[in-house]
Every structure is written in structure tokens, then in C-alpha cells.
């Protein structure tokens, strides 16, 4: 038998060694380090709750959304009434229960405080059942909301503003139902707040729609704005006369 040259035998040995599995030695575990995703997970969980809360605020409590400087959402305003208040309370309680499961932090603590405040407003003796000035703040913020979203030019804001303004009369009618039996507000304070909302509807908002040149959109806005302004007079009459 012919013997293979030494260099060939050496080469074959190297190939065989390279193909063998690694020795069965236990790998040392990596040193324990803090999981950076744990903190991110908490932030994301809080962020998801904040996002859901923001949608509720812009839908039902745009006054608080403005006060908290919450990122604007293009959400249609719907005033709370006897039919929807219980569902809103349920949504708030679900958010609060979820927030209570998160570790303490400035953001989650702030969210909890805000949710508890809203729940207090919804209670039978809460502000939604007794504070006419609060309702004026709510409808004023709802009227301003469309102008915080989207481009300032064109007619998109004018269209969305008309849609939003159409919801204000019903919101104020619902307020009169929720506030049955409440004490009338201080007349001077009420007239001052009411005058500010009237100026918003008659002067401020129409000026913000000047960029829109579509006659149909402007006509829709004027009609909705006029109905909203008229509903303020009805609200005043109910508070001061029809109670």
C-alpha cells in the first residue's frame, strides 16, 4: 500500500479536527445586568394608558386636555349625558386599575391623580352635576380643539370646526339635565365666563377660518357657529329663569 505524504496526512487531520464538535465544557453564564427593556416596558405601558386617556379627554373633557397640554387628537367631541356618563366612568376606572398595577413613577402618579379627579367630577355630587362654569369651559375647549390639529391653511379645520360646533348645543342641553337641582352660579361670574365663550364663537373662531375660500365650507361653519352661540343664550335662560 502506498503511504500518503506527511503533509497530506497533516492536512487531513486538521480538517477532521475542524469538523469535530466543541468540547463539552459548560459555558460560563453572562454576568447579570439590568434589563434595559424592563424600564422601557414600564414607559410603554404608561404611554399606552396616557394615549387611551388622551382620547377620552379630547372626546369628553377637552377643557382638561387643554389644561394638561395633552397632545391634540382628531377626536369628535361628545358631551357627557345621563346615557353616556356611566360608560365613561367605567372607562376611567379601567384605566385607573391598569395604572395601579404599574410601578410608581412621576408619570404614572400624575395619571392616577388625573383619573381620580375626573371620577370625582362624575360623581353624583361632582362638578359635572353642579358647576355651570365648568360646562362653559368644556364647550369652549371643544370649539377650539379643531384648530390645534392639522394644517392651518385650506378648509380642513373649518370643516372639522363645523362638525365640532354642532355638538355644543346638545352638550349644553345634557348639562341642564345633569345639573337638575343644583344651585345657580354666581350671576357675575357666570356672565363673565359666558361673555368670553360668546366672543370666542363670534369673533375668534370666524377669524381663524379666513384661510378657507370654499363657500360651502364657510356656510357650514357659519350655520354651526350661529347655532352654538344661540345655545349659550338657551343655557343662560335655563340657569337664570327656567330652573
pLDDT of residue 179: 96
For the chain, give the mean pLDDT. Answer: 85
Q: What would the pLDDT profile of 189-225 be if each residue is shown by its tens digit? A: 999 999 999 999 999 999 999 989 999 999 999 999 9
- The percent of residues above 90 in pLDDT, for the chain, comes to 73
- Among 41-45, 133-137, 142-146, the range scoring the smallest mean pLDDT is 41-45
Percent of the chain with pLDDT strictly greater than 70: 81
Task: Say what the pLDDT of residue 78 is.
Answer: 97
- Model confidence, pTM: 0.81
Structural contact between residues 45 and 28, judged by C-beta atoms closer than 8 angstroms:
no
List of residues 6+ apart from 171 with CB closer than 8 A: 77, 78, 79, 135, 138, 139, 142
Cβ proximity of 209 and 216 under 8 Å:
no
Domain ranges of the chain: 44-240
DSSP secondary structure letter of residue 102: S
Amino acid at each position: 500500500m502506498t503511504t500518503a505524504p506527511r503533509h497530506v496526512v497533516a492536512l487531513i487531520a486538521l480538517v477532521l479536527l475542524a469538523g469535530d464538535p466543541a468540547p463539552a465544557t459548560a459555558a460560563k453564564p453572562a454576568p447579570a445586568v439590568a434589563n434595559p427593556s424592563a424600564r422601557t416596558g414600564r414607559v410603554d405601558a404608561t404611554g399606552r394608558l396616557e394615549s387611551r386617556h388622551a382620547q377620552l379627554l379630547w372626546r369628553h373633557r377637552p377643557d382638561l386636555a387643554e389644561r394638561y397640554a395633552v397632545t391634540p387628537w382628531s377626536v369628535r367631541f361628545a358631551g357627557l349625558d345621563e346615557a353616556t356618563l356611566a360608560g365613561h366612568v367605567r372607562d376611567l376606572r379601567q384605566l385607573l386599575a391598569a395604572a395601579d398595577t404599574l410601578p410608581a413613577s412621576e408619570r404614572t402618579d400624575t395619571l392616577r391623580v388625573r383619573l381620580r379627579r375626573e371620577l370625582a367630577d362624575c360623581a353624583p355630587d361632582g362638578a359635572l352635576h353642579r358647576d355651570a362654569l365648568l360646562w362653559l369651559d368644556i364647550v369652549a375647549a371643544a370649539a377650539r380643539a379643531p384648530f390645534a390639529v392639522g394644517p392651518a391653511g385650506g378648509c380642513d379645520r373649518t370643516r372639522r370646526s363645523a362638525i365640532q360646533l354642532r355638538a355644543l348645543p346638545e352638550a349644553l342641553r345634557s348639562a341642564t339635565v345633569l345639573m337638575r337641582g343644583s344651585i345657580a352660579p354666581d350671576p357675575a361670574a357666570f356672565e363673565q365666563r359666558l361673555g368670553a365663550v360668546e366672543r370666542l364663537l363670534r369673533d375668534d373662531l370666524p377669524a381663524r377660518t379666513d384661510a378657507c375660500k370654499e363657500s360651502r365650507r364657510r356656510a357650514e361653519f357659519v350655520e354651526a357657529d350661529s347655532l352654538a352661540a344661540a345655545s349659550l343664550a338657551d343655557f343662560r335662560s335655563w340657569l337664570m329663569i327656567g330652573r
